[in-house]
Chains A and B, each alone.
Chain A
Amino acid sequence: ETGVTQSPTHLIKTRGQQVTLRCSSQSGHNTVSWYQQALGQGPQFIFQYYREEENGRGNFPPRFSGLQFPNYSSELNVNALELDDSALYLCASSPGLAGDLLAETQYFGPGTRLLVL
């Protein structure tokens, strides 16, 4: 039990639609990262937020966007869904920022499985 929760657990959307996935981090965890895990692959880094500001981004297009709120919750928004967006989306939180050893352990939620038809 990591204390990180995600909702919904499963979601089905059609191509072109928009989706919002939600994550609730542990209290005190100021950093949240989002990962996309396609079937049979390792997770791929999407982006990271620290204290409500984007702190780094992977190789994902701008239609992937995020928000982080002061209450340790966060959102991943994906616009104009494509079939290849079908994946397990994981959020991970940590208590600090790079350079702080406490921050180097990320605690993952159970994920949201998105299917785009």
Chain B
Amino acid sequence: AQSVTQLDSQVPVFEEAPVELRCNYSSSVSVYLFWYVQYPNQGLQLLLKYLSGSTLVKGINGFEAEFNKSQTSFHLRKPSVHISDTAEYFCAVSDPAGFQKLVFGTGTRLLVSP
């Protein structure tokens, strides 16, 4: 069975500072990895995904993530955050050999203050 751990439930940061949101996964098979963002009272929007190829993945809104197989991690980074990045961020995995069941972490709330 697969699982996702997002170690930080909340990350406060000042505007224009860099940020890293951590995600670790557990799986006995290879996985696909995703980061989704959820703004208040909205659904989920895909930020980026890793399916294969380069381990450094660039997404929308200036976010990027690096897949580290040896550490089973897929941390999300942004070099300079904006107030508008305040939202809930979810890391998710799926099994390439199975159907598209996404297993989500519990989420990290990013709070950007001026």
* Chain A positions near chain B (C-beta within 8 angstroms): 2, 4, 6, 31, 33, 35, 40-45, 48, 50, 55-56, 58, 90, 92, 94, 97-99, 101, 103-111
Whether B99 lies near A43 (C-beta < 8 A) is no
> How far is the CB of A92 from the nearest CB of chain B, in Å?
8
Residues of the A chain whose Cβ atoms lie less than 8 Å from the Cβ of B102: 33, 35, 43, 45, 92, 106
Does B36 make an interface contact (CB < 8 A)? Answer: yes
Whether A43 lies near B101 (C-beta < 8 A) is no
Tell me how many residue pairs across A and B have CB atoms closer than 8 Å.
73
Whether A104 lies near B32 (C-beta < 8 A) is yes
A42 to B51, CA, bound (A): 21
A42 to B103, CA, bound (A): 9
User: Using a CB-CB cutoff of 8 Å, which residues 33-59 of chain B contact chain A?
Assistant: 36, 42-46, 49, 51
> How far is the CB of A39 from the nearest CB of chain B, in Å?
11
Which of these, B32, B44, B103, contacts A45 with CB under 8 Å?
B103
A92 to B92, CA, bound (A): 14
Which of these, A4, A41, A44, A48, contacts B99 with CB under 8 Å?
A48
Which of these, A4, A42, A45, A50, contacts B90 with CB under 8 Å?
A42
